[in-house]
Structure 1
């Protein structure tokens, strides 16, 4: 976690139901609002058609690439919004997060996440989309 972004799970509130915190405190500074990242390779083609695990990995790779280009990393993320196209993917999403997040974050505290199940994404081949808000580093 960066010195500018603090994840908080207040006492006397219901606990988070997964690998996320209930809120984020962002100290003064500019914010990046990162559009939803999809499972698209550098060639513009869908990566992992029909394979949730492959799409999950590509989505977070793409998100990491965007963060890197502006001098940030996952420790600067203040909030995620995640969109899945089927409730059957929720358990797999949670498993993938448990496996990936310890390598992305400096601590075991993670940014808040809102998880939504939607009818579809921009193309039917996409199974997951993740958008984020990140704080600019000083």
Structure 2
């Protein structure tokens, strides 16, 4: 399948952001709404306890699987939200860098949030995404 996502770059806004400021989805497209990917292994255990980068890697691997099961891939993502259970900006940046590495040149619009707590025991990172693919 070919992606329907087009990244929009602003020449007016600051270039400091490591992502496109907007994305469009060209019709016809089928939207894929991925639940927040968590750092769980196949048995449901939290991977990388205490390690933001290790959890972010597991999250992105799990997101790839969820997207593939829906007929999409990382380059079909139109938007992500990255949740990091920390109030330390260093931890947010650590998780963000892993997400960016997985996305590569497909630097989709993203929101990075520090939150008080996530749903699973010892969970530090979660990523949700919206993707679009041609039917």
* TM-score, L = length of structure 2: 0.87
CA-to-aligned-CA distance 1:101-136 (integer Å, 9 cap, x gap): 33xxxxx24111101111010134011100000113
Specify which of 92, 95, 98 is matched with residue 93 of structure 1.
95
2:32 aligned with 1:32: yes
Contact 1:56 1:128 in 2 (8 A): yes
Contact 1:71 1:137 in 2 (8 A): no
Distance 1:34 1:94 in 2: 18
Residue in 1 that maps onto 2:65: 65
Match of 1:61, SS state, is helix
Contact 2:83 2:126 in 1 (8 A): yes
Structure 1 residue ranges, 4+ long, deviating more than 4 angstroms after superposition: none
Q: 1:110 to 1:137 in 2, by over 3 A?
A: same
Distance 1:36 1:111 in 2: 16
2:52 aligned with 1:52: yes
5+ long unaligned stretches in structure 1: 103-107
Between stretches 40-49 and 85-94, larger displacement belongs to 85-94
Residue in 2 that maps onto 1:105: none
Q: 1:98 to 1:82 in 2, by over 3 A?
A: closer
5+ long unaligned stretches in structure 2: none
Specify which of 117, 120, 123 is matched with residue 120 of structure 2.
123
Q: CA deviation at 1:8?
A: 1.1
